[in-house]
Amino acid sequence: MEKIKVILDVDPGHDDAVAILLAGRHPKLEVRGITVVAGNQVLDKTLQNALNICEYAGLDIPVYAGMSRPLLREQVISTVHGESGLDGVEFGTVAKRAEDQHAVDFIIKEALASQGDLVLIPVGPLTNIAMALLKEPRITKGIKEIVLMGGACGQGNYTASAEFNIFADPEAAHIVFSSGLPLTMVGLDVTNQAIAYPHVLDRIKGLGSRVSRMVVDSMQSYYAAYLTLGDWPGPAVHDVCAVAYVIDPSILQVKKARVDVETNGGLTYGRTVCDFRAAPDRPANAQVAVGIDQEKLWDLLISVLEQY
């Protein structure tokens, strides 16, 4: 079986951490590298969290530090991942270090070397991907598709209008959505249903490994933060959905749409405006996830967590 070559672009982040675990051991994926961006926390912290996760889980994947700031806007960080960006998990001393190359240059190098079969999976603000597209527009030839976690057709989570990853760098998102590349937007419309319910955490706990314990601890801390936002039955593990879709597209139902990112609005700044109406002058530029098979998602994740 030929593996799918992917670059996972992350800002860990509790759900990013689980996305790394899913991508890192799935036999269908060849993770060429993990690129890190500022988002859920400042870059120093998101980078350290990515290194910690890889070392803890024994994943020998190169990690690259990327952009520490959004393209234009002032920096915002998330409110649900805590001071470290991954509160609730202690890693101790970790030897793994980031590679010397900048994440943006790594993405460019990989895309230029690819035969058009590279898949980018960004699950944080889109700053690294936009920078790569700006710095070397020829990379589009090497990229098969972008499957991103971000945006929403319905209500946002960071503001009423905007989802966090898009709100954290709307101008970068605009560049990515207008790149002409095949794009799948895995937004809150489905990821808010990827809830780590108690019965899911029980199954993960039942695996009895140190990685499964770490996942459960981190999910419990993440859930405590979620409860400050409302009456959630568990935390939403957003980023896992994008990776899962690349592994098994039948997990999500998708629909073609024209998606534009609002970069001018006040109240609507960072909104992904999704238009499902077909119009010759405004062709679809993305497919948008509109449905999710939750059981399939958890079965997939647990089958991979079993490998640790």
**Residues with a known catalytic role:** 11
Determine contact, residues 246/9, Cβ cutoff 8 Å: no
Q: How far apart, in Å, are the Cα atoms of 236 and each of 84, 146, 193, 226, 270?
A: 19, 22, 7, 8, 20
Q: What is the gyration radius of the CA atoms in the chain, in angstroms?
A: 18
Task: Mention every residue, 6+ apart, whose C-beta is less than 8 A from residue 93.
Answer: none
- Count Cα atoms within 13 angstroms, Cβ side, for 211: 23
45 binds, among Ca ion, ligand BDR, none (CB under 5 to 8 A by kind): none
Distance CA 105, CA 201 (A): 38
Catalogue the E-assigned strands of 15-157.
29-36, 63-65, 118-122, 143-149
In the complex, the smallest distance separating the C-beta of residue 192 from ligand BDR, rounded to whole angstroms, is: 9
| Residue from the set 123, 133, 153, 216 that interacts with ligand BDR by CB under 6 A | 123
* Cα–Cα distance for residue pair 113/256, rounded to 1 Å: 29
Is the distance from CB of 163 to CB of 272 less than 8 angstroms?
A: yes
Take residue 115 and report the two structure tokens written for it. 């035969």
Q: Which of 6, 8, 9, 16 binds ligand BDR (CB under 6 A)?
A: 16
Q: How far is CA 91 from CA 50, 58, 229, 307, in A?
A: 11, 13, 27, 20
Q: Which of ligand BDR, Ca ion, none is residue 157 near (CB under 5 to 8 Å by kind)? A: ligand BDR
Segment interacting with Ca ion, rule: CB under 5 A, options 124-132, 193-201, 218-226, 265-273: 124-132
- Which residue bears the tokens 């039948």? 250
- Using CB under 6 A as the criterion, what x/- string covers residues 133-162 for binding ligand BDR? ----------------x-------x-----
Q: Is 78 in the site for ligand BDR (CB under 6 A)?
A: yes
> Which of ligand BDR, Ca ion, none does residue 189 bind to, with CB < 5 to 8 Å depending on kind?
none
84 in contact with ligand BDR (CB under 6 A): no
Q: Does 124 bind Ca ion (CB under 5 A)?
A: yes
- State which residue, 12 or 142, has the beta carbon closest to Ca ion: 12
55 counts as binding Ca ion under rule CB under 5 A: no
Q: Counting contacts by CB under 6 A, is residue 13 touching ligand BDR? A: yes
Which x/- pattern, by CB under 5 A, does the window 7-46 give for Ca ion?
----x-x--x------------------------------
- x-marked contacts with Ca ion along 199-238 as a string, rule CB under 5 A: ----------------------------------------
Residue 38 lies near ligand BDR (rule: CB under 6 A): no
Alpha-carbon gap, residue 172 to 109, rounded angstroms: 20
Q: Does 123 bind Ca ion (CB under 5 A)?
A: yes
Chain residue whose CB lies nearest ligand BDR: 164
Q: Which two tokens stand for residue 43?
A: 């870059």
In the complex with ligand BDR, which residue's Cβ is closer, 80 or 219?
A: 80
Specify whether the CB–CB gap between 272 and 187 falls below 8 A. yes
Q: Which residues bind Ca ion (CB under 5 A)?
A: 11, 13, 16, 123-124, 239
Q: Which residues bind ligand BDR (CB under 6 A)?
A: 13, 15-16, 40, 78, 80, 123-124, 149, 157, 163-165, 238-239
